Every structure is written in structure tokens, then in C-alpha cells.
Amino acid sequence: MSRPKRNQHIREQLLNQGVSIFISQGYHGTGIKEILDRVKVPKGSFYNYFESKEHFGAEVIKQYAKQILANMDSWLKDSDKDAFEALKQFFDAEILRHQGVREGCLIGNLGAELGDSSELCRQAMVESAEFMQQRFVQVLQAAQEQGTVRNDLATEELAGILFNAYEGALLRMQIEKSVEPLQQFTQLMLNNFLRA
């Protein structure tokens, strides 16, 4: 018997619901049935799209990264005009985005939850973090060329520090239920550490 044809739109809906629910409830706190109910898909259909919950989790991580990269690109793609200003605008927008919903970063959240228990998900997180960090490398290279960001350190190193500090600020934001750690991060990183 042949498998039913997969509907790409339903797959996208399942992944988007996965992002939404995983970020608020975590991987282990989320049941497949809950996701299927939100999309109004019968339980048996799940396995037409994903081999297992673990494979679904890895695909959700990639979906989240795709969304974040699109958001980053919307702010950073014109960074050749004024890269440092584009970076500041991106982080200002991130503070506003997290103002009402302080759920942090799905990759950071799942990293703490799944880091050692799922190699498939861990690998998806590593790749996603690399993609995001590369966006910072690109904008920091442009800013160094424009003379607005310090050039005594390689952009890869600066991007790693920026990404790690941002993830830490997001975690702190969740703990404190306040965007103040993000504001502090932005102030220190952009106005002091990175500036030429």
C-alpha cells in the first residue's frame, strides 16, 4: 500500500505549531497529539510527515532558525549602508519583540533540555546557531570595513562573543521575566565592546 501524498502546507503548519509550543512548553512538555489537534490533522497522519518525534524536533529547530534568519535578514541585509546602525536596529527590534513575550530562544531552551539526549536535535541546533552567527559575521565585516566596529579581533571571534552574550541575555530575561538583561546586553556590546 502506498503512502498518502504529503501536503507541504500541512507540514509547514505542523512545524510552525511545533515552534510555538516547544518554545513555551519545551520538547518533553509537548505531546504530538497537542500539535496535531491545533492543526486539525489525525494522529496517524503525523508519520506521513515525520519519522518520529525526534525527527520532528530536529525539523522544528530548523524551522525556527529559518524564521530567525529571515528576521535577521530583514534588518541586516542592507548593512552595507551602515552596518553598525543596522545591528543596533536589529537588537532594538529584538527588545521590542520580547517586551510582551519573554520566551527566549528555542535553540537555547532546547539546548538545555535535549543537549545530551538527542544527537539529531543537537546537530540541528549546532547548524542553526552557526547560520545565525554567520549573519553576525557578515554584518560585523561590513562594519569593520566602514570603520565603526573594532578591528583588533577577527569578525568570527566578535560574532561568537556577540551570539553567546545574546543567548545568555535571553536566558537571563526568561529567569527575571524582564527585558532588562537584553537592554543591558545591547548597551554594553554595542556602545562599548564592539564600537571602534
Instruction: Give 177-186 pLDDT, tens digit per residue.
Output: 899 999 999 9
Rounded to whole angstroms, how far apart are CA atoms 138 and 143? 9
Residue 22 lies in a domain: no
Residue 131 lies in a domain: yes
The number of angstroms, rounded, from the C-alpha of 187 to the middle of its chain's C-alpha atoms is: 21
pTM of the model: 0.87
Residue 38 lies in a domain: no
Instruction: Pick the closest to residue 22 from 65, 71, 60, 62 (CA basis).
Output: 60
Please state the domain count of the chain.
1
CATH of the domain at 114: 1.10.357.10
Residue 25 lies in a domain: no
Residue 112 lies in a domain: yes
Instruction: Give 40-54 pLDDT, tens digit per residue.
Output: 988 888 999 999 999
Residue 69 lies in a domain: yes
pLDDT higher than threshold 70 for residue 129: yes
pLDDT at 179: 92
Q: How confident is the model at residue 6 (pLDDT cuts 50, 70, 90)?
A: low
Rounded to whole angstroms, how far apart are CA atoms 36 and 121? 20
pLDDT at 1: 40
pLDDT higher than threshold 80 for residue 168: yes
Rounded to whole angstroms, how far apart are CA atoms 152 and 120? 37
Please report, rounded to a whole number, the percentage of residues in the chain having pLDDT higher than 90.
70
Residue 84 lies in a domain: yes
User: What does 133-154 look like in DSSP terms, one character per residue?
Assistant: HHHHHHHHHHHHHHT-B--SS-
Instruction: Give 65-92 pLDDT, tens digit per residue.
Output: 999 999 999 988 875 689 999 999 999 9
pLDDT higher than threshold 60 for residue 5: no
Greatest alpha-carbon span in the chain:
65
pLDDT at 2: 43
CB contact at 8 A, 90 and 83: no
Domain carrying residue 128: 54-193
Q: Torsions phi, psi of 149, nearest 5?
A: -120, 140
CB contact at 8 A, 126 and 133: no
Residue 156 lies in a domain: yes
Distances (CA, A) of 125 to 85, 163, 191: 28, 14, 29
pLDDT higher than threshold 50 for residue 118: yes
Instruction: Give 143-155 pLDDT, tens digit per residue.
Output: 999 999 999 999 9
- Looking at residue 98, its amino acid is H
